[in-house]
Copies of this chain bind each other. A is one copy, B any other.
Amino acid sequence: MNDALLTDATAFLHDQIPLTRAMGVEVQSWDGRELCLTAPLEPNHNHLGTAFGGSLSALVTLAGYSLLWLLLGDREAHIVIRDSSIRYRHPVRGELRALCRHPGDEAWRAFQAQFSANGRARLTLQVAIVEEDRVCVEFEGVFVALR
Contacts and interface: CB of A to CB of B under 8 A. Distances in A.
Contacts of A65: 53
Q: How many copies of this protein are present in the complex? A: 2
A45 interface: yes
Nearest to A13: B47
A55 B19 contact: yes
A52 B19 contact: yes
A19 B44 contact: yes
Contacts of A53: 58, 61, 65, 80-81
Contacts of A45: 17-18
A87 interface: yes
A62 B47 CA distance: 12
Contact of A78 (B48, B55, B78, B80): B48
